[in-house]
Amino acid sequence: MILLVFLNVIIHGCLTGSRVVMALFAIELGVNAFSIGIMAALYSLTPLLLGVTAGRATDRFRESR
């Protein structure tokens, strides 16, 4: 259990760090603010879609039991 918590903290730190690095790198490349905002929003869209898919799969599994 401690290993899972530790890995979750490490992964969350990497995700947060990559979001900052992505924004700074895009600014360095001269990307406009709207595009940077879209790229940052995609960081939230992926977990949302995965969560919805996992929830539906869980509901199907519960109903079949």
Q: What is the pLDDT of residues 2-43, one digit of tens each?
A: 999 999 999 999 989 999 999 999 999 999 999 999 999 998
Q: What per-residue confidence (pLDDT) applies to 63?
A: 83
Residue 65 in this model has a pLDDT that exceeds 90:
no
**Cα(first)–Cα(last) distance of the chain, in Å?**
28
Distances, alpha carbon 15 to alpha carbons 20, 52, 55, in Å: 9, 20, 22
Q: What per-residue confidence (pLDDT) applies to 47?
A: 86
